[in-house]
Amino acid sequence: MASLNRLRRSKQLIRSYANISNKHYPSITPPYHRLIQRLRDGREQLIPSAQRERLTLAEKIFISHLDDSHFDGQTSHLTRGSSFVKLKPDRVAMQDASAQMALLQFATCEMRSTAVPTSIHCDHLIAASEGASNDLQRGIDSSREVFDFLRSASEKYGIEFWKPGSGIIHQIVLENYAAPGLFMLGTDSHTPNAGGLGAIAIGVGGADAVDAMTDTAWETRFPKVIGVELKGKMNAWTSPKDLILHILGKLTVRGGTGFVIEYHGDGVHHQSATGLATICNMGAEMGATTSLFPYTKQMKSYLQATNRSPVAEAADEAHAQGFLSADPNCEYDQHLSINLDELEPHINGPHTPDLATPLSKFKAFIEKNNWDDRASACLIGSCTNKPTFFQAVMRTCLEFRVLLNKPSTRASKLRPNS
């Protein structure tokens, strides 16, 4: 009977999403040739000679997206943590709750279309309560005027519109827009999720997004960089979520403020692209400007599985020229080394996400604090680790195999290295 109930619930879950149709937009390959040339110019003109061949990946992507004004012959050398830089992002993504004011501001600029590819994602105004079908309809009914405005403005200005029910902004960006070496802005704090595909993706306010949409250089401080070296390989009991929970315990919720967190080491290459995205997503909980990984074979597999083989081929060429990874002798402002072979599952909290406790010590932890050891509720989801958590739940609940006929779905969801 228990198995039958699980089967019924799984069918209800599948049916609740069956009528949702996504609109797919063509992916845009980053202009790698231009970016690599801009990086060469930046090394020569803006980096001290002793540091020119010792750049982090974050520095390479920042420099490759510098505004032309930095190359007027009068700009001094860039210094991490103090120099201000003007950047030209490749893309903007906005969620429905923050896009409204940005569009109203953009409308005053009297432009016919946005200067860079821009997308709007209707997800934040839909609250989870009873189930997908009811929640979606309730969200549409309560925010219909907002969605109608976003749709009409998108049509007017050539903005890519993802209607209610299309999915969460971060997952859509990862599956359709994120690319190695890309520089993008998003009006959500977890925009760094795209770092799982080697992009610099920064969460900003609506006014900052409008800068990029109007071809105005976006200004920020040239960041310091924390290097996190991953050694070894995780065992079957741990996940990328455990890794970022462990790092949160090391760096705390304020430890990343003013920094880009850049991962490197042999352990990077044993992680799936969705796992890397989970780690980058939660970098926001440390206050980091963003997080990113170097280009890996798993990223290539993910790009191919999501129908972006041309992007993967172009990224291969850019990687061969040294663009999508740090220089061998680069220097970090801070450095942390983690042995994945020794990593345990973690439980973080209560009250703060940086209170990290390995599972082997959790019993003693709750006894010391005289807390109830019963779990009152369990949430599977959120925008961190949702795909892999759902896979784990389905493995434990369903006593049959599901064969997916669509090649891209089968590849991206079931392939262990994607």
pLDDT digits (tens, 9 = 90+) for 20-36: 334 344 568 999 999 99
Looking at this protein, which amino acid is placed at residue 135? D
> Shortest CA distance to 103 belongs to which of 120, 78, 125?
120
Tens-place pLDDT, residues 160-172: 999 999 999 999 9
Strands 346-348 and 356-358: antiparallel
Q: What pLDDT was estimated at residue 304?
A: 96
Q: What pLDDT was estimated at residue 50?
A: 93
Cis ω on the peptide bond leading into residue 350 (within 30° of 0)?
yes
Q: What pLDDT was estimated at residue 4?
A: 43
Asked if residues 357 and 347 have their Cβ atoms less than 8 Å apart, the reply is: yes
Q: What pLDDT was estimated at residue 25?
A: 43
Tens-place pLDDT, residues 88-137: 999 999 999 999 999 999 999 999 999 999 999 999 999 888 888 899 99
Mean pLDDT of all residues in 272-284: 95
Which range in 69-73, 136-140, 151-155 is most confidently predicted, on average pLDDT? 151-155
For residue 147, what pLDDT band results from cuts at 50, 70 and 90?
very high
pLDDT at 256 over 50: yes
The encoded tokens of residue 391 equal: 């896979």
Percent of the chain with pLDDT over 90: 77
* Side-chain-facing half-sphere of 333: CA atoms under 13 Å: 18
Cα(363)–Cα(382) distance, integer angstroms: 26
The encoded tokens of residue 351 equal: 């009250």
Strands 84-87 and 218-221: antiparallel
For residue 63, what pLDDT band results from cuts at 50, 70 and 90?
very high
Mean pLDDT of all residues in 269-283: 95
Tens-place pLDDT, residues 373-418: 888 877 666 667 656 666 666 666 655 555 554 445 445 555 544 5
DSSP letter string, 149-208? HHHHHHHHHT-EEE-TTS--HHHHHHHHT--TT-EEEESSTTGGGGGGGT-EEEE--HHH
Tens-place pLDDT, residues 351-360: 898 999 999 9
pLDDT at 51 over 60: yes
Write 96-99 long-range contacts (CB < 8 A, 24+): 96/120, 96/121, 96/122, 96/123, 96/124, 96/125, 96/143, 96/146, 96/147, 96/150, 97/124, 97/125, 98/124, 98/187, 98/188, 98/205, 98/206, 99/150, 99/187, 99/206
Asked if residues 281 and 384 have their Cβ atoms less than 8 Å apart, the reply is: yes
For residue 146, what pLDDT band results from cuts at 50, 70 and 90?
very high
Q: What is the DSSP letter of 87?
A: E
More confidently predicted of 236 and 213? 213
Q: What pLDDT was estimated at residue 373?
A: 86
For residue 328, what pLDDT band results from cuts at 50, 70 and 90?
very high
Q: What pLDDT was estimated at residue 362?
A: 94
Tens-place pLDDT, residues 164-204: 999 999 999 999 999 999 999 999 999 999 999 999 999 99
> Shortest CA distance to 171 belongs to which of 301, 22, 376, 394?
22
